[in-house]
Structure 1
Amino acid sequence: MNAIISLCHFCELHGPKVLFCTQPFHPEEKEVGDNEGETDISGHRRVISPSAALEPQTPQTPTCGANSLPSYKNDLCEGCTSVHLGFVSHDDDAGVSYMSSQRPQHRDVFAMIRQSCIRSLSCEVCPDQEGPIFFGDDQQGNTISYTFFIKDNQARGFQRLYSIIVVMMDKIYLLNSWPFLVPNIEVVVKHLKSKAKAVFEKEQVKFPQRPSASVNPRTFIQQRGGNKPVRSLSELTDDKNVFKILHMSFVWILKACGNRLSEALLEGAPTEDSIIDMERQEVTEEDFVMLYSKKLTVEEEVEEAVDAVRYATLNQPTQTEPVDDGSPAFKDIRHILSLLGPSLFHVLAHHVVVGNQIIIRADGRTLMRTFLEALTCLLPRGCFKAVAYSDVYVESYKCNFLGLDPRISIPPHVNKDEKYLLVDVHRKPDFAFDGSTDPFAGYDFKFSSSVTFQPNSVPTVLTKMEFAIRNTNLCEEVLDQALVCYKEEWMNKVKVLFKFTKAGGGRSDEDMRSLMKIVGAVDVDRPLLTYWMKGLSDQYKKHILTTSKQAQVS
């Protein structure tokens, strides 16, 4: 916990004073003087206590360096002094050291603690005089202060005012720690008060005085018999090890509070792609059960087995990296754009996002595989079903991305009934190598399709994706996140459409147009929205359908 916990008291001679403080130090923090402008609440790691160089009878603070403290030679008394050397505890597991001393060594940190000390013992008053209170700001730090009284037979009113303060810059963290800090500080306070009360009662018996009601300011000093005007906490509690106990208590509070609350990066709800990935995970410990898998009939099992042997799919996990056959490889979606040009790339991307089958024929398997892999960023994970290489045509309902042997022709029924885009990649026969370093030098891309798109039929999300891909100011990482955001935005629209059509009963065209307007879609987006329903996870589909049936029954 990056905070400082301190014991303060109100001296009859000098006013509010910091008596004892404990703070953590981390290995990576710098020495004093390495950065004079640094005002971290933890200061530095290796530090000498301000009272380490003090003489026992003349407490003072040495002044050395810009961040050292001013002299307190004439501003301290026995009641304002706690320890001369201090205490250090090391947490080897966490790599943190805790040091307790009279006051923080760093000038700016001490100023912050001093300000909190003054406020806790003067203007920041707890309603019950004793108890916790919160105050602070972003400049001077935030403070939880617990004020309390210690019995003293020689003090005005027979008690002295103390406070334990926890100072931290992080307001939210400190307030969230209130339920932990206040009860544990209260335990320390009760321990000090009980020991001081026992000493007070002994002194009352040993040195009887008049009832407090008859004591007035004129006779008070006389009744004390010329005793010391202030006494240290060790004397008030009759415990020479009281500051050792405080050190251990404060160290435990800081460490335990830090372990209680830890910062975590919140990533929000999982995306549909991440849910799809979880659904495709295999459970290999018990009977090799596939999570969220569907039960297959005997015929389906045979067909799946044949397909598994025949096709090397991108969707199936592989234990080894794909073998490189030496053919050129596509790096990413921008590489495809640079090779095809804006016009052909637009046609390709349009076919991809609306679910038409993409067939690539080329001599190199690496070329076909990397081409299909680069297109995955345009679709939700659940919509991508690929066969990286096949020596026979595979129907579109089995895969929407197909790498086909260049000697294989497209069946007649596909030309007639199916929507597809065929990409033939071959090297120009008359190409003369000119020493270019481009591996695709001399390659030609030819498109043929059974579908012709109208210029005004471009889906809205595709326009946004193409703009981001063409924007060279976006690095690869930013582009990837932008495409993820676009896909997730439109998958949310798909969820609404799925619930509206599949689980909502019969809907009219007018209802559909109203819904499209509400979700921010237009008519040209319908093919994309309909196809992207395949990208919804089985969990979501089952949840919506089950909820709908339960609502209809009730």
Structure 2
Amino acid sequence: MNAVIALCHFCELHGPRILFSTQAYHNEPGKLGSNGAALFRSRSETGGSTSSVGSERSGGTAGSQRTELCEACRSIQHGHSGFISYDHNVGISYTSSQYPSQPQIFTMVRQACIRSLSCEVCPGREGPIFFGDEHYGYTLSYTFFVKDSQARGFQRWYSIIVVMMDKMFLLNSWPFLTSNIRSIIDKIQAQAISIYEKEQAAKSERAERINRQLHAHDVLPPRGGGTQAFRSLIDLTGDKQLFRYLHMLFAWILMAGGSRFTEKFLEGPPNEEEFLDFAREEETEEGFIKVTTRHPETEKVQTDEVLNSSEAELSYSDDGGMIFRSLSHFRQVIGSINFHDLAYHILTGNQLIVRSQSKCTLKSAFDVLKTLLPAGIGTTIVFSDKYEESWKCNFLGLSLDTGIPEYVLASELYIALDIIPEERNPTDYTKVMVDSNDPFHGFGIAIKSSATVPDTVPTFQSRVEHMMDNTSLDENVISTFLAAIKQEWMNKVKMLFKFTRAGNHTEEETNRLLKILQAEKRDEPLLKYWKMGLSSQYKSHLLTESMGLASPSSS
């Protein structure tokens, strides 16, 4: 665990002081011995290269404080640098000393020490509390009292703090840390109470104070002159191996705290795209996936007007027509206003009819426009010699000479786009406004529809158009954004589908769900169309999953 654990003390003479600290270091290869004979040894015994912070670093903040230490502020005696433990399995050493060795870490721990024993305390002044910021790190502080028959109020104030920069990791480790720190505090307090009771039994503290006041020249003994009034924690607990014991426990907390969280790959439910892939796979009796390549002669569709994919690819390559490179390029060619109307009809399930002399142009237009929709939603007939009904396809490609029936022209459930080549002499009104080096320069664009696009389009469309207005974004960013926002709204569609199949709901309940999903009234046409576009396999999976989750509660 990338943290520092420290024991702090509020000295009546010096104020808040760091008493003992433990932190982990990643060892460099070849720096440690391989025998591992003594797990817990002092640095002076091991001959380590790291110097003692409190006694040997000259000119530093911690070094200057060394001269101010009284017995209550000192944990490690002069000449004893501290303790070190080796974890040979992962190559990490855990070191304990009076102060952290790095100046930056010392500043962070010092700041946390002062706050833990002054302003950042829980009610009752004993217990855990969390505080911190991005600059000085985040701290879990557990304050507690230790009995002392010679102290003012018969008790000393201590705290155990855990300092790290990862806020979420520290909060998630709260139960683990507080329970183990509480166990350490209970042992220290139990030892201190035992010593306190023995001292009280030997001689009454009240009688001793009265006797001292009657015979002493001064009311209070001079502070800082070697008086035993400021006793160390070892004296208060009677445990000369206390800090060796604290090092072992602090090192174990750092080691166990880091191994508690391990990365696991959790496989969630399959998405719509995976179900579409499953539907295209055919499994043999031996369990293999059968992959077949159809012969062009057998690639016939129900009607002659629909070109199969292999024939289409061949004819497109020989077509010589202009190609839309991306969705941004398509929007640039037809104009943002025309794209706005087109996108609304596509996202709400209306039929889009594109007429062009080039099948290659038709295919490229449908390819870029279908990136607005999730996979599996919407069917396409790239090219047909006659008009096909909307229940057969959402995207229909026709030649410029193919007529559209009158009843379709009068309907509001379609929109037509004509891409007029330069040789057909498009009017100035329909000519596209692109650079002269663009392949569509000189072409004409005509939009036909009886429908009126509402003033408030679905939120999905607004966000996409707002993103595409930013001309500084490249195609990779736009593609990533489209994938993310489509997944976001497909999750809302799946939630709405489960909700509608769970039983009859009032309009108020439906509106409440839409509010929770951060969807508005203007988003309902999109949600309904995308919900209808879910494959039957995926719908069955969602319903089966819902029934499986509901069954335990019913039993």
TM-score normalized with structure 2 length: 0.58
- The equivalences for 1:452-491 within 5 A come to 452-453=449-450, 460-461=457-458, 466=465, 469-472=468-471, 477=477, 481=481
Matched, 1:376 2:370: yes
The alpha-carbon deviation at position 398 of structure 1 amounts to 4.0
Residue in structure 2 matched with residue 216 of structure 1 by the alignment: 208
SS at match of 1:71: helix
Shift of 1:108: 5.8
Equivalent residues of 1:465, 1:483 under 8 A apart: no
Give the CA deviation at 1:132. Answer: 1.9
Distance 1:481 1:196, change over 3 A: same
Q: Of residues 140, 143, 146 in structure 2, which corresponds to 1:146?
A: 143
Seen in structure 2, the aligned counterparts of structure 1 residues 238 and 408 have a Cα distance that, compared at 3 Å, is farther
SS in 2 for 1:250: helix
Q: Partners of 2:65 and 2:278 in 1: how far apart?
A: 70
| CA deviation map 1:457-504 (0-9, x unaligned) | 677246775565345366653696489759967996999899899986
Q: In the alignment, residue 468 of structure 2 is paired with which amino acid?
A: I
| 2:141–2:161 CA contact under 8 A, matched in 1 | yes
Contact 1:142 1:170 in 2 (8 A): no
Aligned to 2:68: 75
- Kindly indicate whether residue 172 of structure 2 is the aligned counterpart of residue 184 of structure 1: no
CA pair 463-16 structure 1, distance change in 2 beyond 3 A: closer
1:280 aligned counterpart, secondary structure: helix
Q: Does 1:334 align with 2:328?
A: yes
User: Residues 117, 467 of structure 1: CA spacing in aligned structure 2 closer, same or farther, 3 A cutoff?
Assistant: closer
Q: 1:97 to 1:534 in 2, by over 3 A?
A: farther
C-alpha contact 1:351 1:357 (8 A) present in aligned 2:
yes
> What is the CA distance between 1:453 and its match in structure 2?
2.6
Note the alpha carbon deviations across 1:350-378, whole angstroms, 9 max, x for none.
5534421444656565x544322211243
Could you say which residue in structure 2 is the equivalent of 1:132?
127
- Asked if the contact 1:491–1:532 (Cα under 8 Å) also holds between the matched residues in 2, the reply is no
- Which residue in the other structure is 1:534 paired with? 532
Q: Which residue pairs with 1:63 in the alignment? A: 59
2:97 — aligned with what? 101
Q: Classify 1:364/1:245 alpha carbon distance in 2 versus 1 (closer, same or farther; 3 Å).
A: farther
User: Which stretch has the larger CA shift, 3-12 or 470-479?
Assistant: 470-479
Secondary structure class of the residue paired with 2:141: strand
Structure 2 counterpart of 1:51, one-letter code? S
Q: State the alpha-carbon separation in 1 of the partners of residues 106 and 327 from structure 2.
A: 56
Distance of 1:506 and 1:490 partners within structure 2: 23
Alignment of 1:125-524 (within 5 A): 131-134=126-129, 136=131, 138=133, 142-149=139-146, 162-168=158-164, 174-192=170-188, 200=195, 210-212=202-204, 215-217=207-209, 242-260=242-260, 275-282=271-278, 325=317, 329-342=323-336, 345=339, 348-349=342-343, 351-353=345-347, 354-359=349-354, 363=358, 365=360, 367-386=361-380, 396-402=390-396, 419=414, 421=416, 423=418, 428=423, 438=437, 440=439, 444=443, 452-453=449-450, 460-461=457-458, 466=465, 469-472=468-471, 477=477, 481=481, 521=521
Q: Equivalent residue of 1:18, what SS?
A: strand
Taking the aligned partners of 1:89 and 1:307, their CA distance within structure 2 comes to 76
Cα deviations across residues 10-66 of structure 1 (Å, max 9, x unaligned)? 557655431111235689xxxxxxxxxxxxxxxxxxx986734x6xxxx465215xx
SS of residue in 2 equivalent to 1:187: helix
Percentage identity across aligned positions? 33
Work out the CA distance in 2 between the residues paired with 1:20 and 1:506.
Answer: 64
**1:400 Cα shift?**
1.9
CA distance in 2, matches of 1:285, 1:191: 65
Structure 1 residue 255, shift from structure 2 partner: 4.1
Q: Distance in 1 between matches of 2:336 and 2:127?
A: 67
The answer to which of 277-286 and 80-89 deviates more is 277-286
Letter aligned with residue 147 of structure 1? F
Distance apart, 1:208 and its partner CA: 11
Per-residue deviation at 1:7?
Answer: 1.3
- Which stretch of structure 1 is more off in the superposition, 245-254 or 487-496? 487-496
For the residue of structure 2 that corresponds to 1:253, the secondary structure is: helix
Q: CA deviation at 1:336?
A: 0.8
Give the 3 Å change call, closer, same or farther, for CA 216–334 of structure 1 in structure 2. same
The aligned residue for residue 113 of structure 1 is 109
Write the distance in 2 (CA, Å) between the matches of 1:15 and 1:177. Answer: 29
Q: Distance in 1 between matches of 2:201 and 2:251?
A: 40
Change (3 A) 1:401 1:91: farther
Contact 1:425–1:443 under 8 Å retained in 2: no
* TM-score, normalisation: structure 1: 0.59
Determine the C-alpha separation between the residues in 1 that align with 2:527 and 2:280. 35
Q: Which runs of 5+ in 2 are unaligned?
A: 28-47, 216-225, 286-297, 426-434, 551-555
CA-CA distance at 1:331 after TM superposition: 2.6
The Cα of 1:395 is off from its aligned counterpart by 5.9
Q: Is the 8 A contact 1:355 1:528 kept in 2?
A: no
Q: CA deviation at 1:71?
A: 0.7
- Residue aligning to 2:52: 51
Q: Distance in 2 between matches of 1:387 and 1:191?
A: 78
| Closer/same/farther in 2, CA of residues 145 and 420 from structure 1, 3 Å limit | closer
Q: Are the structure 2 counterparts of residues 180 and 487 from structure 1 closer, same or farther at C-alpha, using a change threshold of 3 Å? A: closer
